[in-house]
Amino acid sequence: MKSTTVWTNTGADGSGLGQAHCGGWTAATDGYSGGVGSSGKVDAGWTALGQVPCNSSLSIYCIQVK
């Protein structure tokens, strides 16, 4: 399976990273950045790999926190 970078806006501990992510998911410009993970990681990197510009075309992980 090929690893791919995905939008998460989620920290390594599963907490949300807040509304600053890509302007609250409304800004698709390179002036904003958002949290990403990797589909190939089995550690904290599956949700918290770093930040990339919001004009990147990526898949998204939807994560529910109780």
Between CA 8 and CA 48 the distance in angstroms is 8
Q: 27 CB contacts (<8 Å, ≥6 apart)?
A: 54
**Environment class of 10 (CB within 10 Å of its CB; exposed 0-12, middle 13-18, buried 19+):** buried
Q: Does the pTM exceed 0.95?
A: no
User: What does the pLDDT look like over 16-52, one tens digit per residue?
Assistant: 887 778 888 888 887 889 999 999 999 999 999 999 9
